[in-house]
A and B are shown apart, each in its own frame.
Chain A
Amino acid sequence: MNKRLFFIFLLGAVLLSGCWSKKELTDLALVAGLGIEKNEEGKYVGTIQVVNPGNVAEGQQGGGSGQGPPVSVYSATGDNIIEASRELSTKVSRRLYYAHTNLVVIDEQLAREEGITKILDAMDRDPEFRVTTTVIIAHGVKAGDIMKALTPIDKIPSSKIIKTLKFTEESWGEHLNVNIKEVINALTSSGKEPLITGFHLIGDHDEAKKMESIQQTAPAATIQTNGLAVFKEGKLIGWIHGEAAKGSVWILDRIKRTNVTINWKEEKGAISYQVMRQKTNISARMQDGQPIITVEVRAEGDIGEVIVPIDLTDPHVFLEIEKGAEEEIKKEIEQAVQEAKEYKSDVFGFGEAVRRLDPDAWETLKAEWDDRHFPELQVEVKVDAFVRRSGLRNKSFLSQTEENR
C-alpha cells in the first residue's frame, strides 16, 4: 500500500509538473549574430540577425531557398545590452534564443570611446550566451550595417564572417579569431591586451541589404577582414595591418599555415615559402634589472613557388632560402613589435612572460609597463626556418628554358 501511494505521488510529480522549460523550435528566434553600437543619445543599439530557417535550408516545403532573405535584422535601444535585448521582443514574434549566437560585432566608435569592457559582462553572465562566441570590430562601418549585409554561399552573414575569419587565420595569418572568453582573459590579465580582428563592408551598404545583391556573381557589397584592432585598457586605440599584423600573429603563436615571400638576389618576391608548422616561444630574462624578451620561432615549410631559375637539388640553395625566410619572418615580427610599442599596448603578453619570470620585479614594473617599460623593452627575435620539401618539382622548368635560350 505504501508503495502504491509512493507511486501515485511520483506519477503526480511527473504529470503535474508540466513541461518545465519546454521551448518548441517553432517558438524560437535563432539569433545568429549580435551587433552593438551607440546612437547619438548615448544609448546602446543592439542589432540582431534572426535566422529564417525555411530560407536557409534548401529543398524544404513552405518556402524554399531564394524566396526570402535568410536572415531578418532587428534593432532596439536600451541603457544596457539586456534592456536592448528585451526591447527587441516588441518587434520579434518569437522568444530570442541566444545559444546559437556565434558572432558579436562591436562598433568601432563604441570601442574607441567607451571601450568594450562594459558590454561583455552581459554575454559572460547569460546562461544561454556562449563565451566561445567570436568577437569582431566593425572597422569604418556601423555594426548595424555589417549585420544587415547579405552574403552568398554561406547564407547566414554571421556564419560567413566566422568562417572567413577561421579560414584566413589558418591560411593567411593576418587575423585572429578571438572569442569572448579570450577577450575577457586578455582584459583582466595585467600585462596583456586583446587584439581583435576588424571587418569592413566594401561596396554599396544599402544595396547589400537586398536579395538582388547576392543574386549576382559579384555581390553589391562584400564583408572583408580589415586589420587587427589594438586595445589599451579596454579601449580601441588603433589598427595594425599587413606585415605587422602577421608578425603579431607569429608572436602569439597562432600562425598555422601562411606564406612568406623571399627575395632572391635582385629579384623581388622570387620564392614563396609556405609555412606548414611552426612553434613560437616567448621567454623573458632579466639583465641589469631590465627585462629582455626573446621571441623564438621555429618554422617548417615547403617551397610553393619559384620564379627564378635556381637549382633546388643543391642543399646550399635550400640553406639560403631558409636564411631568406628567417630574415623575412624576423622583419615581420620586429615590425609588429615596433607598431605595438608605438601604440604603447602590450598585445603580445610580454608583460605576462616577465611576471612569470620574476613576480617581484613585475610588481614594480606593472604600474608603468605599458607607458614606459614596454616601449623601451628590448626584444630579441630568433627565427629558425626549415625547408622540408620543394613541392612536386625540385628543378623548375624555368631553368630549362633559361638553358635553351
Chain B
Amino acid sequence: MLGFFKKRQKKKANGLNDKRHPEIDWLNTIDASLSINLEIIKEKTGNSPDVIIRELSMGLNDSVRTAIVYIEGMVDDQSIKDFLIESLMKNQNLQEKVTQQEPLGLLKKKAVPFGDVVTGREWDQLFSSLMAGEALIFIDGTAEVLIIDTRGGEKRAIEEPSSQVVVRGPRDGFTEDIRTNISLVRRRIRNPSLWVEPMKIGQTTKTEVAIMYINDVANEKVVKEVRRRLKQINVDSILESGYVEQLIEDQTFTTFPTLYHTERPDAVAGNLMEGRVAIFVDGTPFVLLAPAVFIQFFQSVEDYYTRFDLATALRFLRILIFFISLIAPAAYVAATTFHQEMIPTQLLITVAAQREAVPFPSFIEALLMEITFEILREAGIRMPRAVGSAISIVGAIVIGQAAVQAGIVSPAMVIIVSITAIASFATPSYSVAISARLIRFLFMVAAATFGFYGIILGIIMLTVHLCSLRSFGVPYMSPLAPFTLVNNSDTIIRAPWWAFWQRPRLISGENTVREGSRQKPRPPMNREMVSRSNEKGDSNE
C-alpha cells in the first residue's frame, strides 16, 4: 500500500519537472532564419490548425520574406485583415524603403497601425504573447520579432448579472473577459490611483489574474499580502476565481466564505472605495474581494441605492432570515421532543394532532424532509431548463400535501421545511446560504440530542468559530467584534450617506475620511423656489 503511494508520488514529481520539448530548450532566443523560426513554432504548437502562419513578401522583387503568426479566434480578425496585412502588402512607399533600411524598425515606426507594439526575441515571451492573442511578425534575417497587440476575438456581451439581481441599480455585469471587467470598474472610478497589477497564474493555463486597488485608500499591508499569496500559487490550472479563492484563504476548515465574490462592477467599485482589493481572474465573471467580513454577506449593493431606513429594515430581515434558515427545523425538533411546556396549549394540541399519525420521531421526520428538499433543490439547479417544470410538479408532491396524506410527515413539518427553504433562498449571499444549509443539519442533531440547550451550545460554538476567523488578517466579525463604533454605521444598520464619515478602519489604510463635514441636506429657510405664479386670482378658482 505504502509502496503504491510512493510510486505515485515519484511519478508526480517527474511530471512536474518534465519539459516536453527538451530539444529546443536551449534555443531560448529566436533564430535569424525565418524558416527555422516557423519550424520551431509549428513543432511547439503541435501543428495546431488554429495557429495561423501567414507568409508574405515585402520590398522590391519580394526580397524581404516575412511572416505573420497569430492564433485564430484569439485575435481581432478584422484588424489583422484590414490593417496589418493591408499595410504590409499594399503600401508602395513602404515596399521601396523596406529593402534599403532595417526592416523591423521601419515596420514598427511606419507600418503597423496598432497601439501596443513591442519587439521581442525570447521564445518564452513570444509564446505567451501568441497564446494571449497577440500577433507576431517575423522577418527573415532579423533575430527579432514585432509583437502586436491584436487581442480580441469572440466574447460574451455585457449582460445583467444573474446571481445578484437588483431592482434599482446598474444592469451591467462582468463577463468572462478580464479586460472588459477591468474597464467596467475603471469606468466607475476615473482616477489614476486605481492601480491594476497583472500576473499570470497556472503553470499550464497561464491564466491572467489582476489585482486592483486604489493606491492611497487600500491598506498597503493587505495589498502586499494579496500579492504574496497570489505569487505563492503553484498549480497547473486556474479556471475560475474559486480556484484562487481556495488557494489564498486564511482558514480552510470552515464553511463560511472568507472572500467575497461578486458579478457586479458597482459592488467592486464600492468595495474598492472602502479599501478592499479586487482580484480579477480571466475566464470568469466572478471577481474576488478581500478582505471580507461576515456582515458583508448580509448586505446587498442595493442597500446603498435605496433609502437608509428601508435598507436597515431589510438588513434586520436578512439577519432574521439567516437564523430561520439555520435553526428553524432544529427549533421545531427541540420544541416538540423536549420542551412541550414551552408551546402554548392550543398550538401543542394542534401539533400533537398532526404528529399522531406520523410514524417517525420528529428528528427523523425533519431530517427526511430536509434531505428531500436538498435533493429537490439540487435537481432544480442541475437539470436542464426543459425538465424544470417536471421537477416542480414532482417536488410539490414530495414536500407537500401528498407527503402529508401519505402519513409520512406532519403538515407543520412541511411548513417548517418550506419556510426554511424560502429563508435560505432569501439570503443575499449564496455562499453564506449554502454554509447555513450545511450547518443546519448539525443544529438538528444538536437539537435532537439536547433540545434548546443543544441549539444554544451550537450557537455559542458557531459564534466562537466566526470570531476566530480572519480574512487577510482582518477579524471576520469586525466591526462587530472587535467593536468599532464609527464603522457600525454600515453593518446591521445602514446609516444614511451623509453619515458615512469613515471607511472601515480595519480594512482600509490610513486614508479613512470619506466625506466632508455637514453633508446632511438642509432645506433653505426661505421659500424662494416656491413658484409665485399662483398669486391671488391666478388660479382656476
Interface residue ranges, A against B (CB under 8 Å): 14-15, 17-26, 28, 30, 32, 51, 53-54, 56-57, 60-63, 97, 99-100, 102, 128, 156, 159
- CB <8 Å contact, A100 and B357: no
- CB <8 Å contact, B349 and A56: yes
Q: How far is the CB of A3 from chain B (nearest CB, A)?
A: 11
Of B341, B346, B356, most buried by chain A (CB within 10 Å of CB) is B356
Q: With A54-B356, A62-B357 given, is the CB distance from A25 to B351 under 8 Å?
A: yes
- CB <8 Å contact, A57 and B350: yes
Which of B143-151, B257-265, B332-340, B519-527 makes up part of the contact surface?
B332-340
Q: Tell me which residues across on chain A come within 8 A of B355, comparing CB atoms.
A: 24-26, 53
- CB <8 Å contact, B448 and A53: no
- CB <8 Å contact, A99 and B341: yes
Q: With A25-B352, A53-B353, A61-B404 given, is the CB distance from A100 to B345 under 8 Å?
A: yes
Q: Tell me which residues across on chain A come within 8 A of B346, comparing CB atoms.
A: 159
Q: Tell which of B338, B350, B361 touches A21, judged by Cβ atoms closer than 8 Å.
A: B338
Q: How far is the CB of B334 from chain A (nearest CB, A)?
A: 10
- CB <8 Å contact, A102 and B353: no
Contact indicator per residue, chain B 259-288, by CB within 8 Å of chain A (1) or not (0): 000000000000000000000000000000
Contact indicator per residue, chain B 321-349, by CB within 8 Å of chain A (1) or not (0): 00000000000000011101100011011
Q: Tell which of B340, B356, B361, B446 touches A60, judged by Cβ atoms closer than 8 Å.
A: B356
Q: How far is the CB of A242 from chain B (nearest CB, A)?
A: 33
In the complex, the chain B residue whose C-beta lies closest to that of A60 is B353
B380 interface residue, CB < 8 Å from A?
no
- CB <8 Å contact, A30 and B336: no
In the complex, the chain B residue whose C-beta lies closest to that of A98 is B341
Contact indicator per residue, chain B 189-227, by CB within 8 Å of chain A (1) or not (0): 000000000000000000000000000000000000000
Q: How far is the CB of B534 from chain A (nearest CB, A)?
A: 44
Measured in the bound complex, the distance between the Cα atoms of B449 and A18 in whole Å is 6
Q: Tell me which residues across on chain B come within 8 A of A62, comparing CB atoms.
A: 356-357, 407
- CB <8 Å contact, B450 and A57: no
> Nearest 3 A-B pairs (CB), nearest first?
A99-B341, A57-B353, A53-B353
Contact indicator per residue, chain B 344-385, by CB within 8 Å of chain A (1) or not (0): 011011111111111001100000000000000000000000
Of A21, A57, A97, most buried by chain B (CB within 10 Å of CB) is A57
Q: With A53-B356, A54-B356, A57-B353 given, is the CB distance from A97 to B340 under 8 Å?
A: yes
- CB <8 Å contact, B357 and A61: yes
In the complex, the chain B residue whose C-beta lies closest to that of A97 is B340
B234 interface residue, CB < 8 Å from A?
no
- CB <8 Å contact, A57 and B345: no
Q: Tell me which residues across on chain A come within 8 A of B338, comparing CB atoms.
A: 21-23
- CB <8 Å contact, B340 and A159: no
Measured in the bound complex, the distance between the Cα atoms of B404 and A26 in whole Å is 17
Q: How far is the CB of B253 from chain A (nearest CB, A)?
A: 11
B504 interface residue, CB < 8 Å from A?
no
Measured in the bound complex, the distance between the Cα atoms of B341 and A21 in whole Å is 13
Measured in the bound complex, the distance between the Cα atoms of B341 and A19 in whole Å is 18
Q: Chain B binding site: helix, strand, loop or mixed by DSSP?
A: helix
B59 interface residue, CB < 8 Å from A?
no
Q: Tell me which residues across on chain A come within 8 A of B349, comparing CB atoms.
A: 30, 51, 53, 56-57, 156
- CB <8 Å contact, B336 and A25: yes
- CB <8 Å contact, A56 and B450: no
Q: How far is the CB of B359 from chain A (nearest CB, A)?
A: 9
B451 interface residue, CB < 8 Å from A?
yes
- CB <8 Å contact, A159 and B352: no
B128 interface residue, CB < 8 Å from A?
no
Q: Tell me which residues across on chain A come within 8 A of B357, comparing CB atoms.
A: 54, 60-62
Q: With A51-B349, A62-B356 given, is the CB distance from A25 to B450 under 8 Å?
A: no
Q: How far is the CB of B347 from chain A (nearest CB, A)?
A: 10
Additional pairs, 6, CB under 8 Å, beyond known A19-B448, A28-B340, A57-B354: A23-B338, A24-B337, A24-B362, A53-B353, A61-B357, A62-B357
Q: With A25-B340, A99-B341, A159-B345 given, is the CB distance from A30 to B352 under 8 Å?
A: yes
Measured in the bound complex, the distance between the Cα atoms of B349 and A23 in whole Å is 15
Measured in the bound complex, the distance between the Cα atoms of B354 and A61 in whole Å is 8
Q: How far is the CB of B331 from chain A (nearest CB, A)?
A: 15
In the complex, the chain A residue whose C-beta lies closest to that of B359 is A26
- CB <8 Å contact, A56 and B353: yes
Q: Tell me which residues across on chain B come within 8 A of A22, comparing CB atoms.
A: 337-338, 448, 451
- CB <8 Å contact, A17 and B340: no
Q: Tell me which residues across on chain B come within 8 A of A156, comparing CB atoms.
A: 349
Q: List 12 A-B contacts (CB under 8 A).
A: A14-B445, A22-B337, A24-B337, A25-B348, A28-B340, A56-B349, A60-B354, A60-B356, A61-B357, A61-B405, A62-B356, A62-B357
Measured in the bound complex, the distance between the Cα atoms of B448 and A30 in whole Å is 21
Q: Tell me which residues across on chain B come within 8 A of A32, comparing CB atoms.
A: 345
- CB <8 Å contact, B345 and A17: no
Q: Tell me which residues across on chain A come within 8 A of B340, comparing CB atoms.
A: 23, 25, 28, 97, 99-100
Q: Tell me which residues across on chain A come within 8 A of B405, comparing CB atoms.
A: 61
- CB <8 Å contact, A26 and B356: yes
Q: Tell which of A14, A25, A54, A60 touches B337, judged by Cβ atoms closer than 8 Å.
A: A25
Q: How far is the CB of B243 from chain A (nearest CB, A)?
A: 29
Measured in the bound complex, the distance between the Cα atoms of B356 and A63 in whole Å is 10
Measured in the bound complex, the distance between the Cα atoms of B352 and A23 in whole Å is 12
Q: Tell me which residues across on chain B come within 8 A of A19, comparing CB atoms.
A: 337, 448-449
Q: Tell me which residues across on chain B come within 8 A of A18, comparing CB atoms.
A: 449
Q: Tell which of B353, B448, B450, B451 touches A54, judged by Cβ atoms closer than 8 Å.
A: B353
Q: Tell me which residues across on chain A come within 8 A of B345, comparing CB atoms.
A: 30, 32, 100, 102, 159
Measured in the bound complex, the distance between the Cα atoms of B449 and A99 in whole Å is 21
Q: Tell me which residues across on chain A come within 8 A of B445, comparing CB atoms.
A: 14
In the complex, chain B residues 394-417 whose Cβ is within 8 Å of any chain A Cβ: 404-405, 407
In the complex, the chain A residue whose C-beta lies closest to that of B448 is A19
Q: Tell which of B348, B446, B451 touches A30, judged by Cβ atoms closer than 8 Å.
A: B348
Measured in the bound complex, the distance between the Cα atoms of B357 and A195 in whole Å is 44
In the complex, the chain A residue whose C-beta lies closest to that of B348 is A100
In the complex, the chain A residue whose C-beta lies closest to that of B334 is A22
- CB <8 Å contact, A28 and B352: yes
Measured in the bound complex, the distance between the Cα atoms of B363 and A22 in whole Å is 11
Measured in the bound complex, the distance between the Cα atoms of B517 and A149 in whole Å is 76
